[in-house]
Every structure is written in C-alpha cells, then in structure tokens.
C-alpha cells in the first residue's frame, strides 16, 4: 500500500509541476496582466444558473431494465426540470441499437440544439452521432464510449478501471497482510469493455500487495445471474478471504446465494453504489463491508453540460473558457465510516 501511494504521489507531483510550468509559460507570453484571464466572461455561477435562451435537448438511453439505468434516466429528467430554459425531448429507452439510431436521426431532423446520448452500443451509434456533430448539433456521450472522437463534443464516463483499483486497494488494506489470501471476483458481462476494465483495475491493484484473483465467475448484471454465478463460485471455493462483486444490482442475488450457503468467513465489496447495498453496509450484519461508486449522475451531468454548450457558456469552477471534452468521474469506496455521505444520493436497485 505504501508503495502504491508513494507512486501515486510522485505521479501527482510530476503532473502538478508540469501544469505549473505551463501556467507560468502562458503568463509570461500573454504580454499582459497575469490576472487578466483568470475569470472567463462566459462562466460564472450566477450567469450559468440564470435563465438564457430556451434550448431543445434530445435525450436517448437504453431501456431502464436495471436499477442503475433507471437512476440514470430519472436523474436526467429531474435535472432538466430544474431549468425553465430547457425543452427536453426524451426518446423511449431501448436496447435495440437500430431503433436508437433512428431516434437520433429524428433529433437531427428536428434540429435540436444538443443531444445527450447513452448508447446501447457505443460502436453502433458512432456513425449517427458523427452525423449529428456534422449537422452542428453537439453530442454529449454518456457512459459507453463511441469509437471515434469525432462523434461527441463531450464524453462523460464513470471510471470502470478505477472501480477495480478502488476495490482491489480496499481489499489489500483489509487482507493484504496475508500472502495466501483467497480472492474471488464476480464480474458482470465479460464481453463488455467496461467489465474487462474493471477486472484489469482489480488485478493491477491486487498485484501491488502481492495478491491475485483465485476464483472468478461472470454473471450478467441481473439478480438471477448474480445468484447463479455465486452459487457456482461458492461450490468451487471452500474458503474465501475477500470477494469483489462488480455490480450491486446483481449483488442482491450474490448476497442471497451467500446466505443460502451459510458462508460468512470472508469480506465482500460491491460495485456501483446502490442504496440497498449501502443500507446493508450501514447495518453491518453480513459480509458486505464496502461498495465502490459508479455514478448514476452521468446523464444528469450531460444535461447540464449540454445546456452550457448550447448557450455558449463554460464551467464556472474552471478558468478554461469552454466546457472540457472529456470528464471521468471518481470511483470512491463507501464503508460504514462514510456511508452517511453517499446514501442520500444513491440509487435504488
């Protein structure tokens, strides 16, 4: 752990030094008052909150067949309702990429001012997103990346690799002093890049404290899949010291299988940050001791940024005069010590 933190500290210090040198260079070459450009004229808290020209935002996402996706959709709608200058057009949620393509084409034909899009398949939606961008409609890509940088003005992502790092780091802190610790992993859908990124981050973090995954199964982000995969895992692993489950929705089934098997010799870490998982952590009466946040605010953040972009505004907390083109949200660990901070904004599975 000390090596991990030291390495991260060196990286942060180096990055900070590089940014500082760039800032000094910019100040020296500006030829004017170094304070002159520290507050962009198009970005202030008051200006951003004030109503502007009414804009139309098209929003399309997958079917809300999962607690996290339901929270994504409801948060986006709630965010739009806060602003009287937003006219939100919501397409019906779908897991059919072809239908979602036609929805985006409809937004283009309607001449919306911006599109917030959580694609059911990033690669499949890339071409139509490029068409929107070429039509002068900024696209805000949420959660699942397009396969071309030309397809989006802004990309907002949860940190899948960071989730794995956070889960692995927590487990290292809890059982890393045992070089023979048995580590288990219950992944989501293995064919998805997000699952692969989570597993890679987990493996990398465990390696830092000399551990590795001993038993691994993949589920499908559903309660039923989580229960079946966990039953399989427990039958093949008579002893476990720590387990990471990628997803709190499927975690309902994971906990049911653990309870049915009468197993309690290990600690468990969840993923995504559902309210029911946090209540289990708060109660402290089962194996679930922590979960890693995968923010369900991404589409709501997309709505807010779409408004700023369409109205020619910027982010008030940045000196930069335009909205960044890529935002990766944090993946903190929630435990009994900080659950009160995260529970009020958690989604229900």
Q: What is the pLDDT of residues 161-179, one digit of tens each?
A: 999 999 999 999 999 999 9
Whether 13 shows a pLDDT value over 80: the answer reads: no
Same domain, 208 and 221: yes
Tens of pLDDT, residue by residue over 311-344, are 999 998 888 889 999 999 999 999 999 999 999 9
Whether 4 shows a pLDDT value over 60: the answer reads: no
Same domain, 173 and 150: no
133 found inside a domain? yes
Same domain, 138 and 195: no
DSSP β-ladder status, 333-334 and 288-293: antiparallel
Whether 190 shows a pLDDT value over 90: the answer reads: yes
Same domain, 140 and 183: no
pLDDT confidence of residue 37:
42
Tens of pLDDT, residue by residue over 110-151, are 999 999 999 999 999 999 999 999 999 999 999 999 999 999
Q: What are phi and psi of 228, to 5 degrees?
A: -65, -45
305 found inside a domain? yes
pLDDT confidence of residue 288:
98
**Any idea which of 12-16, 263-267, 275-279 has the lowest mean pLDDT?**
12-16
Quick one: which of 20, 16, 18, 23 has its CA closest to 38? 23
Task: List the beta bridge partners of residue 271.
Answer: 292
How confident is the model over 221-228, as a mean pLDDT? 96
Residue 56: which residues within 8 A CB-CB, separation 6 or more?
87, 88, 89, 110, 111, 112, 113, 114
Q: What percent of the chain has pLDDT over 90?
A: 80
Same domain, 54 and 69: yes
How confident is the model over 281-308, as a mean pLDDT? 97
Residue count of the chain, please give it: 349
The two structure tokens encoding residue 59: 């929003």
9 found inside a domain? no
Quick one: which of 152, 106, 149, 145 has its CA closest to 129? 152
340 found inside a domain? yes
Average pLDDT, the chain: 89
Task: List the beta bridge partners of residue 60.
Answer: 117
DSSP state of 347: B
The residue range of the domain holding 286 is: 160-294+333-345
Same domain, 340 and 229: yes
How confident is the model over 9-23, as a mean pLDDT? 38
Q: In terms of pLDDT, which residue wins out, 42 or 269?
A: 269
Report yes or no: 63 and 69 within 8 Å, Cβ to Cβ.
yes
Same domain, 288 and 301: no
Tens of pLDDT, residue by residue over 273-288, are 999 999 999 999 999 9
Q: In terms of pLDDT, which residue wins out, 166 or 193?
A: 166
Please state, in angstroms and rounded to a whole number, the distance separating the CA atoms of residues 333 and 349.
Answer: 18
**How many distinct structural domains can be found in the chain?**
2
Tens of pLDDT, residue by residue over 31-40, are 444 444 444 4
pLDDT confidence of residue 41:
54
Please state, in angstroms and rounded to a whole number, the distance separating the CA atoms of residues 122 and 97.
Answer: 9
Same domain, 87 and 142: yes
Q: What percent of the chain has pLDDT over 70?
A: 88
pLDDT confidence of residue 187:
98
Q: Can you spell out the DSSP letters for 223-285?
A: HHHHHHHHHHHHHH-S--SEEEES-HHHHHHHHHHHHHHT--SSEEEEEE-BHHHHHHHHHT-
Same domain, 282 and 308: no
Residue 81: which residues within 8 A CB-CB, separation 6 or more?
none
pLDDT confidence of residue 298:
96
325 found inside a domain? no
191 found inside a domain? yes
30: pLDDT confidence band, cut at 50, 70 and 90? Answer: very low
Same domain, 150 and 87: yes
pLDDT confidence of residue 33:
45
User: Residue 103: which CATH number?
Assistant: 3.40.50.2300
75 found inside a domain? yes
Same domain, 212 and 311: no
How confident is the model over 221-245, as a mean pLDDT? 97
Q: In terms of pLDDT, which residue wins out, 22 or 287?
A: 287
Same domain, 251 and 188: yes
32 found inside a domain? no
Tens of pLDDT, residue by residue over 52-97, are 899 999 999 988 888 899 999 999 999 999 999 999 999 999 999 9
């Amino acid at each position: 752990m000390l090596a991990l933190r030291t390495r991260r500290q060196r990286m942060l210090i180096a990055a900070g030094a590089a940014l500082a040198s760039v800032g000094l260079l910019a100040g020296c070459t500006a030829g004017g008052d170094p304070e002159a450009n520290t507050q962009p004229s198009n970005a202030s808290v008051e200006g951003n909150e004030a109503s502007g020209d009414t804009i139309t935002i098209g929003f399309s996402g997958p079917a809300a067949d999962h607690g996290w996706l339901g929270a994504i959709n409801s948060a986006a709608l709630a965010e739009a309702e806060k602003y009287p200058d937003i006219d939100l057009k919501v397409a019906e949620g779908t897991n059919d990429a072809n239908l979602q393509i036609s929805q985006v084409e409809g937004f283009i034909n309607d001449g919306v001012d911006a599109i917030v899009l959580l694609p059911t398949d990033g690669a499949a939606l890339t071409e139509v997103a490029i068409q929107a961008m070429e039509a002068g409609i900024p696209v805000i890509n949420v959660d699942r990346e397009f396969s071309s940088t030309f397809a989006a003005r802004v990309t907002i992502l949860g940190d899948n690799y960071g989730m794995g790092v956070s889960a692995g780091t927590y487990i290292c802190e809890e059982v890393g002093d045992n070089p023979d610790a048995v580590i288990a992993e219950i992944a989501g859908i293995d064919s998805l890049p997000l699952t692969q990124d989570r597993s890679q981050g987990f493996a990398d973090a465990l390696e830092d404290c000399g551990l590795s995954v001993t038993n691994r199964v993949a589920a499908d982000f559903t309660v039923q899949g989580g229960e079946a995969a966990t039953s399989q895992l427990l039958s093949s692993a008579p002893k476990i010291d720590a387990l990471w489950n990628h997803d709190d929705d499927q975690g309902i089934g994971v906990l049911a299988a653990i309870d049915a098997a009468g197993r309690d010799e290990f600690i468990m870490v969840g993923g995504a940050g559902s309210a029911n998982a946090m209540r289990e952590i708060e109660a402290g009466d089962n194996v679930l001791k922590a979960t890693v946040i995968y923010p369900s605010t991404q589409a709501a953040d997309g709505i807010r940024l779409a408004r700023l972009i369409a109205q020619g505004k910027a982010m008030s907390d940045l000196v930069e005069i335009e909205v960044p083109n890529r935002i990766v949200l944090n993946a903190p660990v929630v435990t009994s010590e900080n659950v009160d901070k995260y529970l009020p904004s958690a989604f229900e599975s």
